[in-house]
Amino acid sequence: MSVNTNNIYGSISISDETIAKVASQISLDCYGIVEMFSRDVKDLNDLLVPKNAFSKGVRVVSNGDVINLDLYVVVKFGVSLAAVAETLKNTVKYNVEKFTGMIVDRVNVNVKGVKL
């Protein structure tokens, strides 16, 4: 899938994979986020050779020009989960909207682990 928009210069189409890569990188830059967590483990081969390492831990659901994101993260031990999750949601929403020019309707944060 992809999100699409039109303007006076023509049409713009951005793939969900591209949005996932951007959201993943933005997430890793946020304080308290240690790593992105792979949301699907299908077989041993995916663990050894990740095909989508740059978009790991992000699920994008787009409908027209509206984007919904699910983030799967591992956080640093000792940080406030509520504060990190809220900051992560706001940061990802703002930057993805700025990057795509589309509306991010929802950002869900799923904490899958804690690391020291």
What CATH number is given to the structural domain containing 12?
3.30.70.1350
Most confident of 6-10, 14-18, 31-35: 31-35
**How far apart, in whole angstroms, are the C-alpha atoms of residue 14 and residue 90?**
21
* Sign of the torsion formed by the C-alpha atoms of 16, 14, 87 and 52: positive
Domains: count for the chain: 1
User: Could you report the per-residue pLDDT of 31-78, keeping only the tens digit for each?
Assistant: 999 999 876 555 444 555 555 566 789 999 988 778 999 999 999 999
Domain membership of residue 28 as a residue range: 2-115
The three-state secondary structure class of 76 is strand
**How far apart, in whole angstroms, are the C-alpha atoms of residue 38 and residue 54?**
11
Predicted TM-score (pTM) of this structure: 0.84
